[in-house]
């Protein structure tokens, strides 16, 4: 399997991995992913070897070739590829539409299953890739989750239950060692985002955390994020009442991805706008509540599985935030059905069934008919018909 | 047997002629002094050639700072006691050819007497004799050359080394067949703008692919900023504008990365952008066609360019090096014979542009002070050009009310005047006492076959002989000299013919660009030098790819053998096979590298 996109997409590949290993239990499955995610990918169930894709090295080779191309350029590239695998794989399942992933598939395997039907130079899309491109361009009434579409790309159906990964035992810095212990309720706050457009403003977090701790003092909050989120985390802490300091643990920039997975597993909830850590939280069994705005869409990339919540903004940059409502929901999920509508936001809850994940509006009956079964049937028929013509 | 005899006997086994010459030579150039570590060190002319403390460690550090590439011939300048050669040999693979330049046998006698040489000496090819003989010996290696100078020792024979380097550069220029992709970054306006145009045309005439990033299209906007009355606003906004154009340049370069970025003086490239270009492996050069004493912004940019070419020699070169420039070379101005040429004027043109004596140029203070003495003579004088406001005593001879003169008019004046005055500008009232560089007008007048009377410049003898250009050393001589030359039509004809012939033979922009590229080629044998030798042409690439990459080889064979092919073209060739094309592993690797190449966003 080849997944060269971001952290969120890698974690969202878990259902496809689960379906693939269930369908072909006798075959071994290796995973090619960006080198920085390799340690996390090694925790994925069903994955044999994890091959590390060194993007910066490829950039360096390409730069070295510019204006100075010689046959020797291919020597070093060939050695790198041989280091990934000495023998070509039988099949590469490519989950990205980026040409690099397709080329990687063609370089490493005898046959490629993925977005393109006929190799990297022929842009005729497979039915599922065509559907995903349509969704990316027009959204429409799509309710098929990206994780499940990945299964479709591989010619599989979604797994009956959402897959879990088991993080290692927490091996955290001493001051974070208590996370998950005691009688507190632990909640991870994802303070930043890989995409700057998806960052929840610091004042919003200050107000949200204040509202939560004012109403329920048994919560302990772990601020998580990368090194670049440390300044933001500090700003949040500085903006809070000193009385709340004892409720906060700052883990930003201090964890590797496996450590972050372990840390999230110690929490009951993960809250934030960055889909990558939220997907990681759900993968280790932690409930997630997401604030989706900018380009994030609940139906395509909401937290996978059962019982997660997503506040979906109706505009890219929200004017107001559902602070009190989301805190109330967190403290008592049963109130979801009776929540007052929040202007500019809609609330969705995740479910999981035979067609994978589905988000339905809280309280109300879904005004839109669930067409996932139809989509799956149509796309499967198209795929089978194409296979028949090949 | 002492160390001299031991060394010479061993040398005789591989180079009998040198050994014999050495036996008959005398030393005495180097003063041998014991270093603190107990081994011999050396001094010459009161300066240390090797470390007074630890010559071996110093030589090792020098050798480690060099960056030879596989397949290159190493040429070492600087003999000394050869510690540096020994250290270099220890670092290089045994098969790497190493030439040691020996311009003076006396130093080698001292080196041989001071200590016994080791086995490394058997690896050395000793290049000795005249500069031409030495160059010939090195050229026989027929490989790209990497010149390495051990400066403390090389400085003793700097003139010889320069001469050898010049011969090697001429050889590269003569062999040059490869096509370079060159981006010329021109100024927004000013005197270097036409030079940029001439450089573009010259490089194209040499067969290179040239892209002119012409910022003169932004001139009117920039000049609008000059109208702002508040000087702080004006300077701040002009600076911002130049910075913005610097970013525009970066974006343009990123779209199609060239082999060489050649900037002309006043090009809007700021130091942070130049540093970023270097980080991204762009090779940059600046032809600073300005008087370094008057325009001093080079101080801020010196470290930014890989190569500086200047129209002055010392102390200009030393000043730039002190400011951080790594490579500074002398490259005088020139003419473009397709522009600067003899013209037949019509009777009407002759009446308008003709004169006994004339001058074209701006009203600098020395010209304002000198020209009034040309009034009221037996012969006529016409003054052309702008910035003569306030020079009321010259109003009677100032043409077109002091309007700016375009190139076309300028050529007509040159061709219509019996004596063209060529006085270099200066802020005083006479000739520039530090006058060194030769201005473009000197070459342009000569190329036009027009007679000129020029103020004496210290660098003029490097480019013209007294038989080609007439000079004066004092403003007071001017009226008499004009009178003299007006009476000597035949002598004028002979001089102008010789001057034009000299320009065509030595001083066109094509000559300058060839020199510039060959100098960069010698200093960068693995990049520019390699392209110039044609090593990046399809024929050479296909031979190198050979049997190891059959698919690549056959793809390369589809291009003309002398065509320059890069990753981009190869990838386009692979893609051109169409959607159902069969791809080999090599094709896929080419496409993958090209995917990463096409991402240039981090440059801008």
| Residue range B547-558: mean pLDDT, rounded | 85
Q: In chain A, which ranges are continuous DSSP H helix?
A: 7-11, 14-23, 38-41, 55-65, 71-84, 99-108, 127-138, 146-153, 202-215, 230-239, 257-265, 275-283, 298-301, 323-331, 372-389
Which residues of chain A approach chain B closer than 8 Å at the C-beta? Answer: 58-59, 61-75, 77-78, 81, 99-100, 103-104, 106-107, 118-124
CA distance A94 to chain B (A): 15
Partners of A107 on chain B (C-beta within 8 Å) are 585, 588-589, 592
Select from A71, A85, A89 the residue whose CB has the most chain B CBs within 10 Å, as the one to mutate to test that interface. Answer: A71
| Residue range B392-415: mean pLDDT, rounded | 91
Please, which residues bridge with residue B572 across strands? none
| Residue range A157-163: mean pLDDT, rounded | 94
* pLDDT above 90 as % of chain A: 70
- Inter-chain residue contact A74 with B549, CB threshold 8 Å: yes
Q: What is the structure's pLDDT at A360?
A: 92
What would the pLDDT profile of A100-127 be if each residue is shown by its tens digit?
A: 999 999 999 999 998 988 888 888 889 9
CA distance B589 to chain A (A): 7
Q: Please report the DSSP string for B276-297 in residue order.
A: HHHHTT--EEEEE-S-TTT--T
Q: What is the structure's pLDDT at A387?
A: 64
Which pair of structure tokens corresponds to residue A97?
């539409």
CA distance B587 to chain A (A): 10
**Which of B531, B548, B593 lies closest to A62 in CB terms?**
B593
Residue B441 has pLDDT above 90, yes or no: yes
Given a contact cutoff of 8 angstroms between Cβ atoms, the answer to whether A337 and A363 are in contact is yes
Name the more confident of A205 and B430.
Answer: A205
* ipTM (interface predicted TM): 0.92
Given a contact cutoff of 8 angstroms between Cβ atoms, the answer to whether B302 and B323 are in contact is yes
Q: Which residue of chain A comes nearest to B544, CA vs CA? A: A71
Partners of B524 on chain A (C-beta within 8 Å) are none
Q: Which residue has the tokens 């050229």?
A: B139
| Residue range B355-364: mean pLDDT, rounded | 93
Select from B597, B598, B599, B603 the residue whose CB has the most chain A CBs within 10 Å, as the one to mutate to test that interface. Answer: B597
Which of A274-288, B335-349, B581-595 reaches the highest mean pLDDT? A274-288
CA distance B254 to B602: 9
- Inter-chain residue contact A78 with B585, CB threshold 8 Å: yes
Which pair of structure tokens corresponds to residue B82?
């050869």
B221 pLDDT band, cuts 50/70/90, is confident
What would the pLDDT profile of B236-254 be if each residue is shown by its tens digit?
A: 988 888 889 998 998 888 8
Residue B604 has pLDDT above 60, yes or no: no
Under DSSP, the state recorded for B178 is P
CA distance A198 to chain B (A): 21
Q: Which residue of chain B comes nearest to A79, CA vs CA? A: B589
Q: What is the structure's pLDDT at B577?
A: 83
| Residue range B306-325: mean pLDDT, rounded | 94
**Which of A59, A64, A74 lies closest to B589 in CB terms?**
A74
Signed CA dihedral, B465, B466, B472, B478: sign only? negative
Q: What is the structure's pLDDT at B565?
A: 82
Given a contact cutoff of 8 angstroms between Cβ atoms, the answer to whether A53 and A188 are in contact is no
- Inter-chain residue contact A72 with B544, CB threshold 8 Å: yes
**Which of B281, B578, B591 lies closest to A63 in CB terms?**
B281
Q: Containing H/E element for B384?
A: strand B381-384
Q: Please report the DSSP string for A303-357 in residue order.
A: PPSSS-EEEEESSSS-SS--HHHHHHHHH-GGGGGGPPP-TTEEEEEEEEETTEE
Residue A216 has pLDDT above 50, yes or no: yes
Q: What is the structure's pLDDT at B602?
A: 52
- Inter-chain residue contact A122 with B580, CB threshold 8 Å: yes
Residue B478 has pLDDT above 60, yes or no: yes
CA distance A51 to chain B (A): 17
Q: Which residue of chain B comes nearest to A57, CA vs CA? A: B596
With CA atoms as reference, report the closest residue to B441 among B492, B499, B484.
B499
B311 pLDDT band, cuts 50/70/90, is very high
Q: What is the structure's pLDDT at A386?
A: 67
Instruction: Give A285-312 as a 3 state SS string.
Output: CCEEEEEECCCCCHHHHCCCCCCCEEEE
- Inter-chain residue contact A100 with B575, CB threshold 8 Å: no
CA distance A62 to chain B (A): 5
| Residue range B381-396: mean pLDDT, rounded | 90
Q: What is the structure's pLDDT at B281?
A: 80
* pLDDT above 70 as % of chain A: 98
| Residue range A161-173: mean pLDDT, rounded | 87
Name the more confident of A159 and A120.
Answer: A159
Alpha carbon of B47 to those of B44, B109, B206, B277: distances in Å? 5, 19, 44, 38
A285 pLDDT band, cuts 50/70/90, is very high
What would the pLDDT profile of B8-48 be if each residue is shown by its tens digit?
A: 999 998 889 999 999 999 988 999 999 999 999 999 988 89
Distance between alpha carbon B512 and the CA centroid of its chain, in Å? Answer: 7
CA distance A290 to A346: 12
Under DSSP, the state recorded for A51 is E
- Inter-chain residue contact B567 with A72, CB threshold 8 Å: no
- Collapsing DSSP to helix, strand or coil, B522 comes out as helix
Q: Which residue of chain B comes nearest to A64, CA vs CA? A: B281
Q: What is the structure's pLDDT at B171?
A: 67
| Residue range B316-330: mean pLDDT, rounded | 93
- Inter-chain residue contact A104 with B592, CB threshold 8 Å: yes
Residue B305 has pLDDT above 90, yes or no: yes
**pTM for the complete prediction?**
0.67
CA distance B443 to chain A (A): 35
Which residues of chain B approach chain A closer than 8 Å at the C-beta? Answer: 181, 257-259, 280-281, 527, 530-531, 535-536, 541, 544-546, 548-549, 552, 565-567, 570, 574-575, 577-581, 583, 585-586, 588-597, 599
Q: What is the structure's pLDDT at A150?
A: 95
| Residue range B337-342: mean pLDDT, rounded | 91
- End-to-end CA, chain A: 23
**Which of B258, B588, B595 lies closest to A106 in CB terms?**
B588
Q: What is the structure's pLDDT at A390?
A: 45
- Collapsing DSSP to helix, strand or coil, B398 comes out as strand
What would the pLDDT profile of B562-571 be if each residue is shown by its tens digit?
A: 777 888 888 9
- Inter-chain residue contact A107 with B588, CB threshold 8 Å: yes
Distance between alpha carbon A298 and the CA centroid of its chain, in Å? Answer: 12
Q: Which residue of chain A comes nearest to B70, CA vs CA? A: A72
**Which of A66, A72, A106 lies closest to B257 in CB terms?**
A66
**Which of B549, B566, B595 lies closest to A103 in CB terms?**
B595
- B331-368 in b/e form (b: 16+ CB < 10 A) is bbbbbbbebbbebebeeebeebbbbbbbbbbebbebbb
Mean of the per-residue pLDDT values of chain B: 88
- Inter-chain residue contact A71 with B552, CB threshold 8 Å: yes
| Residue range B130-135: mean pLDDT, rounded | 84
- Inter-chain residue contact A100 with B527, CB threshold 8 Å: no
Residue B145 has pLDDT above 80, yes or no: no
| Residue range B528-552: mean pLDDT, rounded | 80
Q: Which residue of chain A comes nearest to B590, CA vs CA? A: A74
CA distance A96 to A34: 13
- Collapsing DSSP to helix, strand or coil, B205 comes out as helix
Name the more confident of A310 and A316.
Answer: A310
Select from A64, A69, A73 the residue whose CB has the most chain B CBs within 10 Å, as the one to mutate to test that interface. Answer: A69
Q: Which residue has the tokens 């960006």?
A: A34
Q: What is the structure's pLDDT at B600?
A: 56
What would the pLDDT profile of B83-101 be if each residue is shown by its tens digit?
A: 999 999 998 888 888 999 9
| Residue range A197-226: mean pLDDT, rounded | 95
Phi, psi of B323 (to 5 degrees): -80, -5
Pairing of strands B31-34, B40-44: antiparallel
Mean of the per-residue pLDDT values of chain A: 91
A-B contacts at Cβ under 8 angstroms: 102
Q: What is the structure's pLDDT at A124?
A: 87
Residue A170 has pLDDT above 90, yes or no: no
- Inter-chain residue contact A62 with B257, CB threshold 8 Å: no
Partners of B576 on chain A (C-beta within 8 Å) are none
Partners of A61 on chain B (C-beta within 8 Å) are 593, 596
Q: Which residue has the tokens 């590439």?
A: B69
């Amino acid at each position: 399997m080849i997944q060269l996109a971001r952290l969120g997409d890698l974690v969202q590949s878990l259902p496809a991995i689960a379906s693939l290993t269930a369908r072909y239990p006798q075959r071994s499955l290796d995973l090619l992913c960006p080198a920085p995610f390799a340690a996390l990918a090694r925790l994925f169930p069903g994955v044999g070897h994890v091959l590390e894709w060194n993007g910066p090295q490829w950039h360096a080779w390409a730069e070295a070739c510019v204006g100075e191309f010689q046959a020797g350029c291919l020597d070093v590239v060939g050695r790198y590829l041989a280091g990934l695998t000495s023998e070509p794989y039988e099949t590469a399942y490519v989950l990205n539409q980026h040409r690099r992933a397709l080329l990687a598939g063609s370089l490493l395997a005898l046959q490629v299953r993925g977005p393109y039907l006929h190799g990297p130079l022929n842009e005729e899309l497979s039915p599922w890739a065509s559907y995903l491109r349509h969704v990316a361009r027009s959204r429409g009434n799509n309710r098929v989750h990206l994780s499940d579409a990945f299964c479709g790309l591989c010619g599989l159906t979604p797994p009956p239950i959402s897959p879990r990964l088991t993080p290692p035992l927490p091996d955290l810095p001493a001051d974070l060692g208590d996370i998950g212990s005691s009688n507190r309720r632990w909640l991870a706050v994802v303070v930043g985002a890989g995409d700057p457009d998806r960052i929840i403003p610091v004042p919003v977090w200050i107000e949200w955390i204040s509202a939560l701790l004012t109403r329920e003092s048994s919560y302990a909050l772990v601020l998580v994020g990368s090194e670049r989120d440390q300044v933001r985390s500090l700003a949040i802490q500085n903006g809070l009442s000193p009385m709340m300091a004892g409720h906060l643990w700052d883990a930003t920039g201090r964890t590797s991805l496996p450590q972050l997975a372990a840390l999230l597993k110690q929490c009951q909830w993960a809250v934030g706008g960055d889909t990558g850590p939220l997907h990681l939280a759900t993968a280790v069994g932690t409930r997630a509540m997401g604030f989706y705005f900018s380009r994030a869409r609940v139906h395509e990339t909401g937290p996978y599985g059962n019982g997660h919540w997503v506040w979906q903004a109706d505009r890219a940059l929200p004017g107001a935030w559902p602070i009190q409502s989301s805190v109330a929901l967190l403290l008592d999920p049963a109130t979801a059905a009776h929540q007052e509508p929040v202007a500019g936001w809609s609330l969705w809850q995740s479910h999981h069934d035979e067609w994978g994940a589905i988000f339905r509006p809280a309280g109300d009956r879904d005004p839109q008919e669930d067409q996932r079964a139809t989509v799956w049937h149509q796309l499967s028929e198209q795929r089978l018909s194409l296979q028949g013509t090949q | 047997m002492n160390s001299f005899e031991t060394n010479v006997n061993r040398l005789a086994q591989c180079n009998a002629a040198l050994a014999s010459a050495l036996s008959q030579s005398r030393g005495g150039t180097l003063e041998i002094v014991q270093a603190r570590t107990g081994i011999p060190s050396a001094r010459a002319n009161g300066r240390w050639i090797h470390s007074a403390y630890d010559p071996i460690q110093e030589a090792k550090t020098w050798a480690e700072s060099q960056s030879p590439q596989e397949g290159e011939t190493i040429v070492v300048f600087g003999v000394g006691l050869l510690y540096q050669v020994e250290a270099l040999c220890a670092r290089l693979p045994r098969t790497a050819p190493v030439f040691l330049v020996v311009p003076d046998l006396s130093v080698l006698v001292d080196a041989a007497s001071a200590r016994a040489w080791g086995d490394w000496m058997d690896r050395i090819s000793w290049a000795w004799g005249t500069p031409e003989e030495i160059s010939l010996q090195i050229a026989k290696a027929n490989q790209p050359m990497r010149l390495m100078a051990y400066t403390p020792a090389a400085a003793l024979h700097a003139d010889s080394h320069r001469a050898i380097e010049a011969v090697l550069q001429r050889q590269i220029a003569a062999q040059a067949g490869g096509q370079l992709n060159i981006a010329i970054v021109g100024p927004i306006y000013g005197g270097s703008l036409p030079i940029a145009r001439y450089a573009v045309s010259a490089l194209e005439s040499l067969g290179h692919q040239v892209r002119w990033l012409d910022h003169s299209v932004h001139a009117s906007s920039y000049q609008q900023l000059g109208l702002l009355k508040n000087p702080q606003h004006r300077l701040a906004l002009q600076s911002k504008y130049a910075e913005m154009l610097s970013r525009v340049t970066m974006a343009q370069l990123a779209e199609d990365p060239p082999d060489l970025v050649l900037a002309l003086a006043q090009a809007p490239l700021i130091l942070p952008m130049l540093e970023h270009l270097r980080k991204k492996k762009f090779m940059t050069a600046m032809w600073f066609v300005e008087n370094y004493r008057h325009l001093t912004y080079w101080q801020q940019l010196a470290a930014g360019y890989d190569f500086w070419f200047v129209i002055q020699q010392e102390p200009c070169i030393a000043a730039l090096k002190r400011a951080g420039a790594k490579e500074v070379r002398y490259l005088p101005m020139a003419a473009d014979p397709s522009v600067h040429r003899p013209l037949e004027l019509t009777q009407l043109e002759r009446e308008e542009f003709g004169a006994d004596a004339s001058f074209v140029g701006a009203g600098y203070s020395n010209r304002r002070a000198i020209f009034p003495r040309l009034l009221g003579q037996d012969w006529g004088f016409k003054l052309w050009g702008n910035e003569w406001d306030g020079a009321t005593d010259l109003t009677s001879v100032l043409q077109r009310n002091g309007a700016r003169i375009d190139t076309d008019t300028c050529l007509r004046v040159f061709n219509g005047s019996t004596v063209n005055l060529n006085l270099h500008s200066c802020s005083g009232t006479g000739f520039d006492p530090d006058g060194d560089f030769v201005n473009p007008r000197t070459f342009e007048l000569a190329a036009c076959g027009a007679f000129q009377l020029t103020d004496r410049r210290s660098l003029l003898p490097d480019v013209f002989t007294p038989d080609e250009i007439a000079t004066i050393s004092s403003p007071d001589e001017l009226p008499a000299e004009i009178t003299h030359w007006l009476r000597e039509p035949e002598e004028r004809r002979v001089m102008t013919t010789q001057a034009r012939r000299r320009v065509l033979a030595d001083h066109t922009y094509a000559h300058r660009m060839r020199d510039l590229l060959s100098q960069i080629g010698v200093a960068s044998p693995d990049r520019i030098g390699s392209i110039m030798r044609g090593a990046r042409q399809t024929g050479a690439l296909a031979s190198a790819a050979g049997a190891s990459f059959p698919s690549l080889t056959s793809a390369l064979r589809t291009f003309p053998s002398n065509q320059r092919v890069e990753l981009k073209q190869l990838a386009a060739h692979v893609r051109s096979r169409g959607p159902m094309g069969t791809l080999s592993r090599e094709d896929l690797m080419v496409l993958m590298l090209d995917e990463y190449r096409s991402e240039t966003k981090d440059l801008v």
